[in-house]
Amino acid sequence: MSGNEKTSPSKESKDSKTNNMQRWYLWIFLAALAGLFALAIATREPVNTIPYSEFLAELETCEEDAESCKFTEVSWDNVTGTVQGLDAEGLVVAESTGFTENPSQFEEKATAAGLPYSPKTRVGAWWESLIIFLPLFLIFGFIIWLSRRQQSQMGGIMSIGRSRAKTYSSERPGTSFDDVAGYDNVKKEITEVVDFLKHPKKFAEIGARIPKGVLLVGPPGTGKTLIARAVAGEAGVPFLSVTGSDFMEMFVGVGASRVRDLFNEARKMGSAIIFVDEIDSIGRKRGAGLGGGHDEREQTLNQMLAEMDGFEATEGIVMMAATNRPDILDPALLRPGRFDRQVVVPLPELEDRKKILGVHIKNKKMANDVDVDVIARGTPGMSGADLANLVNEAALFAVRGGQTQVTAENFDQARDRVIMGVKRDSLVMNEDERRMTAYHEAGHALCAALLPDYDPLHKVTIIPTGMALGVTMTLPEEDKHSIRKSQAENMIVMMLGGRNAESLVFGVVSSGAGDDLQKATGMARRMVTEWGMSEKVGPMAFGSNGPVFLGDDMMQSKEYSDDLARVIDEEIQNVLNTQEERCRKLLTDNRAALNGVAEALLATETVTGAEVDEIIASTTGTAS
């Protein structure tokens, strides 16, 4: 869903460039050294080396018979004592090692033969001089490399307080609101931030003050970071992105130093957006929690508060942050003048999910039976990240099945895996366990199908999935934002359907209803203590949703007396007992349908909601 994102060269990229250049220098030096040796071997002429006595005998031959003489000239090297005989073309015909002092016998024989005699002192070639000085070059190069390495290490230590923010330049194409599917209300709410960054003079002329900070609040995976980048892309200003953990370091004061450097860097850019992801890691309430606060984190937070007060709204710097825990942020961070605006980024609604799914399936091959409306309706409570994972899982199922297109069945398989877990095909149940599981799931399915104002039954299966031996799945037709008392009671009846089916058919109950009982008890407790759905307790709410790890709730006294606590327990028990009686009566009155659904599960292991409706209609004589 995001657009092209390119960052400006950072310190890390510069360091990698330096390392690459150093590697190239080493290879160039080794190649030059190899070239010198190859040149030395190539320029050396092949020479016929003979003993010195034989060389003298050859000179005697030249004295006796000049025509048969191989030499036209002889030379002697007073450094090495080498004597050479050269032909008319100046090439060495024969070579020998004589004496370093002038050999009178050699000179006499050469003179007697009438050959030119040329003593000389040999001078080495230029490449031989380079080889002689090679160790000095190596030592000098090692000293330079060592000094640069020490400088880079010192530079790394000195730059530990530098900001680690990634800069997204406004000159390169970035993310825009078109890349964010859905969330039209969120876009409208932060459009004025974009207008301010584009046209700051318009706001300054009338005296309007734009919020300094915008806090994006929402569950994980809802696209808060993407929305912040879209604001920068729409406004056409640089975007500095950093996470809260980037400020934390083992050295005290480093976080505050990085905050100062971050704001100084933003001021140099003129108009810019500073985005801090997961700000709750450094913005947590000061002085909260058992054992006191963390000094380094509190110093970092204090510096951030001071920096946000230090720049004016007309400077063109807007700070944005994202968190999924606004309840643990320090109140000073949320006051007007700092993060004075909170934008809620909720889980996507039905229409938003359709748009998000449309973005993710755009570049994938979809079969004609894939209906985005059906998929969106069956994924309530899923975030944008969950929907992206769902589409990818469906594509993986299609690949495993050897298909060339993703079908609706693949999306059903993907949804089952994401919601319920992986099917445990290797788990083998005995016949009694399998039969009890079938009636357990049939009880859930029958209650879901027969209860009024309940989500339509999608399917029921006794294939072990995840941690469950069977699963009953309903598919809501629309998103629900509140729960009525009758709906909450129906949910408890459906949760108790498996337990009561086991008790009705087998006369016993099993541990398979453990998770159902926990959910039913939790629902009943919320009805009594939070939602005011008990006549005896009345319109009162108890309990705190605050995070226990902050230490705020550890030493608080109870909010109600022991007598009221007994009334609350009695009301919770009364709710559960009443709904269990409803559930048992519903299953007793439709015992034939219960047997029919259970037998269908034993035969096929998976039964759809439509098939359950047919079984109910065939046993009762009326459509469900």
Q: Which residues are catalytic?
A: 441
Type of residue found at 76: W
Q: Report how far residue 487's alpha carbon sits from residue 541's, in angstroms, rounded to the nearest whole number.
A: 20
- Residue 527: DSSP 8-state: H
Residues whose CB is less than 8 angstroms from the CB of residue 442 and which lie 6 or more positions away in sequence, other chains included: 460, 501, 594, 597, 598, 601
If you write DSSP's letter for every residue of 557-605 in order, what string do you get? PPSS-HHHHHHHHHHHHHHHHHHHHHHHHHHHHTHHHHHHHHHHHHHHS
Sign of the dihedral defined by the CA atoms of residues 201, 202, 207, 208, in that order: negative
Per-residue H/E/C for 350-397: HHHHHHHHHHHCCCCCECCCCCHHHHHHCCCCCCHHHHHHHHHHHHHH
What 8-state DSSP symbol labels residue 406?
B
* The amino acid at 144: I
- Cα–Cα separations (whole angstroms), residue 29 to 17, 26, 32, 343: 19, 5, 5, 60
Which of 518, 439, 456, 526 shows the shortest CA–CA distance to 489? 526
How far is the first Cα of the chain from the last one, in angstroms, to the nearest whole number? Answer: 43
Distance CA 193, CA 202 (A): 13
Running DSSP on this structure, what letter comes out for residue 218?
A: -
Complete DSSP assignment for 286-303: TT-STT---HHHHHHHHH
Give CA–CA dist 57/109, Å, rounded.
9
Cα–Cα dist 624/615, whole Å: 9
Question: CB atoms < 10 A from the CB of 375, how many?
Answer: 22
Give the position of tokens 């931030």.
193
Q: What is the DSSP letter of 465?
A: B
Q: Which residues pair with 215 in a beta bridge?
A: 321, 342
